[in-house]
Amino acid sequence: MKKLVSGFAVMNLLAVGWAVTTALTVWLVMMYAPVDAELGYSQKIFYVHIGSAAAMMIAVLSAFICSILYLVRRNLRADNYAVASAQTAAVVGAIVLITGMMWAKAAWGTFFPLTEVKLLIFLLLWVIFVAYIILRNAIEDSGIKRAGSAVFAVFGFLTMPFVLFINRWAEMPSQLHPTVITAHDSGMEPRMLVTLLCSIVSWLLAGAVLIIVRAKIAEIEQAFETLETK
């Protein structure tokens, strides 16, 4: 138990980094980043939207890696981290959805244009991770629960490349979602780019801290369960 409760040094460091970068991001968004000529202040939603999307992608990737590790080695620690990553992906995904919808209302006049393939695939990805949590709580047999949810997380990860690249892979008519950053050009003013990068770092740190905290909770709860069954 002592071993489980200790070992928080890395997490504390990440949490401090998260707090500092979040404060810096809010300052940059309010004071430093210029107001967009076309969208006005509503364009500033973009920083939180992209940042949270980056955190979600990392959480989905982490859920995938940990689930594969669990399926191959039956490692309980990997399973704990997979659950933590999936839960973080669902929470951060909700933020991506809401900020995206708010941005869409300001930019396109509608909250969720149903003709947008990228948005629909993202919604599917988010629903997969919400279903993961429901599935996790619904099944009682721990072996089936762990293996089933691991397979679910792998499927969730498989939809991620489509979310990221569908607008580049397939030429579809009248897709509104912009592709801001390409391999060669960010297409942004330097002050906007600095703000965006700071926001991405703060959200990535947030994702990492949330995953570690949630996984630690799962580990300690598991240790208690083992003690109680003994």
Which residue ranges make up the site for another protein (CB under 8 A)?
1, 5, 26, 29, 40-42, 44-45, 48, 52, 91, 94-95, 98-99, 102-103, 105-106, 206, 210, 213-214, 217, 220-221, 224, 227
Nearest to 58 by CA among 80, 85, 82, 95: 85
Cβ of residue 56: shortest distance to another protein, in angstroms?
12
Nearer to another protein, 77 or 148 (CB): 77
Dist CA 142 CA 133 (whole Å): 14
CB 204 within 8 A of CB 62: no
Q: Please say which residue, 97 or 153, places its beta carbon nearer to another protein.
A: 97
Helix (H, G, I), strand (E, B) or coil at 58: helix
When the beta carbons of 30 and 151 are compared against another protein, the nearer one is 30
Q: Using the minimum distance from each CB to another protein, give the nearer residue, 159 or 202.
A: 202
CB of 210 to another protein, least distance (A): 7
* Dihedral angle sign, alpha carbons of residues 189, 194, 195, 199: positive
Phi, psi dihedrals of residue 40, rounded to the nearest 5°: 70, -145
* DSSP SS3 for 32: helix
Give the Å distances, CA to CA, from 117 to 91, 138, 152, 172, 173: 22, 31, 22, 9, 11
Burial label, 139 (beta-carbon count in 10 A; 0-12, 13-18, 19+): middle
Contact 67, 153 (CB under 8 A): yes
CB of 158 to another protein, least distance (A): 26
Q: How far is the CB of 13 from another protein (least distance, A)?
A: 18
Shortest distance (Å) from residue 68 CB to another protein = 25
Q: Which is nearer to another protein, 40 or 178 (CB)?
A: 40
What is d(CA 7, CA 28) in angstroms, rounded to the nearest whole number? 33
Nearer to another protein, 181 or 217 (CB): 217
CB 175, min distance to another protein, A? 22
